[in-house]
Amino acid sequence: MSFQTGLDRLLADPALRRPLAGKRVCLLAHPASVTADLTHALDALSACGDVTLAAAMGPQHGLRGDKQDNMVESPDYEDPVHGVPVFSLYGEVRRPTRAMMDSADIFLVDLQDLGCRIYTFVTTLLYLLEAAAPLGKAVWVLDRPNPAGRPVEGLTLRTGWESFVGAGPMPMRHGLTMGELGHWFVEHFGLDVDYRVIAMEDYDPNAAPGFGWPSGRLWVNPSPNAPNLNMARCYAGTVMLEGTTLSEGRGTTRPLELFGAPDIDARAVIARMRALAPHWLEGCILRDCWFEPTFHKHVGTLCNGVHIHAEGPAYRHDAFRPWRVQALAFKAIRQLLPDYPLWRDFPYEYELGKLPIDVINGSPLLREWVDDAAATPADLDALTLPDEAAWAQARAAHLLY
């Protein structure tokens, strides 16, 4: 057999579509919701004579993926080709309204994830499941690969830190597909919902060289600043840069693969990282570089930075730990420049009164470790390793591949 996504399988097999007959269908999708030949799911499903497409939904960045930055809302509109309403789940509301839910009987979720808790499509899936449960609506996930693969990394989100970038007590890098995550949501939150997964065919998340991303599968950006597999691998660490004054490379062609600022010495940062915890840097190559963002942080200003390369012959999937790599960079900067204004303070994802770095990590623990001059890499491991082990156990029952 050759690899197929859930969408590919649904389109190829009339038996899988049979339960959709006579039902109104709503598709939750984005630009990466495509078939093997890059036909968009909205077009492909509309062309199925046995599927009644009644509505569509778009997550953050919109169904078309046209919203470049974070926290830029999308309006509702009518699709000009298919004439169906397109509801925004990142506009006036984050949770589907009753009117949205009344538009269909079965909701198909076809979202390419990046395998990271903070990627908001994860929370959008939970909110849809929660909205569907009391109304007797069905939710199907058309499953897709997790390009970050199976490894687990990061602190578990603590109680009281739930947000749109933190749906529940999972680590930063969860190692599940969207379909598997849905099963965990249903169990963890005790949801009585008609939920099913159209699983992928011939998916091996441990197969080289993709380790989660099937060889030969074309990459389509699931969001504007998710341009390639290297970014997806780095993202569970580099996303933390959104809570800092350091550029994460927005406004360059390699966003969320690099970090820097006009006032850091990248070579000194890399050297300090290697001195502090060389075992945290295995499986990737760090390269010092220069860049000038065309928008966003440090726009138009020359920055010295570090590019994380998690691909090529040096890449080791089992050893690469992006969350620790980025944490170590913060620690190195804090040691080299003790008074550096590292942490941004603004209402990140509309969370008031909390530092963005803490919202991102689901607790203050990472920031406190960085800022504690006496805290060592072993201290962060002591906090994090038990969380990672507990998650590996909790997710085990939901693995489909």
Helix/strand/coil percent split, the chain, to 5? 35, 15, 50
Name the band, by pLDDT with cuts 50, 70 and 90, for residue 347. Answer: confident
Mean pLDDT on 180-194: 98
Q: According to the model, what pLDDT value does residue 110 have?
A: 98
Please say whether the beta carbons of 126 and 94 come within 8 A. Answer: no
Per-residue pLDDT, 72: 67
* Whole-number pLDDT of residue 74: 77
Q: Do 195 and 139 form a contact (C-beta atoms < 8 A)?
A: yes
Q: Which domains does the chain have, with CATH numbers?
A: 6-223 (3.40.50.12170), 229-391 (3.90.1150.140)
Count CA atoms closer than 13 A to 274's CA, side-chain side. 10
User: Cα(7)–Cα(332) distance, rounded to whole angstroms?
Assistant: 44
Helix (H, G, I), strand (E, B) or coil at 55: strand
Q: Tell me 396's DSSP state.
A: G
Give the whole-angstrom CA distance, residue 43 versus residue 4. 18
Q: 133-177 pLDDT, tens per residue?
A: 999 999 999 999 999 999 999 999 999 999 999 999 999 999 999
**Whether 132 contacts 104, CB under 8 Å:** no
Give the model's pLDDT for residue 68.
60
- Give the pLDDT score at 84: 94
Phi/psi of residue 74, nearest 5 degrees: -110, 140
Peptide linkage before 80 cis (omega within 30 of 0): no
Q: What is the pLDDT of residues 14-72, one digit of tens each?
A: 999 999 999 999 999 999 999 999 999 999 999 999 999 999 999 998 887 666 666 66
The answer to whether residues 316 and 283 touch, using CB atoms and an 8 Å cutoff, is: yes
Of the candidates 204, 293, 296, 168, the residue with the CA atom closest to the CA atom of residue 242: 296
pLDDT in tens, 212-265: 999 999 999 999 999 999 999 999 999 999 999 999 999 999 999 999 999 999
> What H or E segment, with its residue span, contains residue 56?
strand 52-58
Tell me the average pLDDT of the chain: 95
| DSSP designation for 10 | H
**Closest by CA position to 147, among listed 233, 73, 218:** 233
Q: Which amino acid is at 115?
A: G
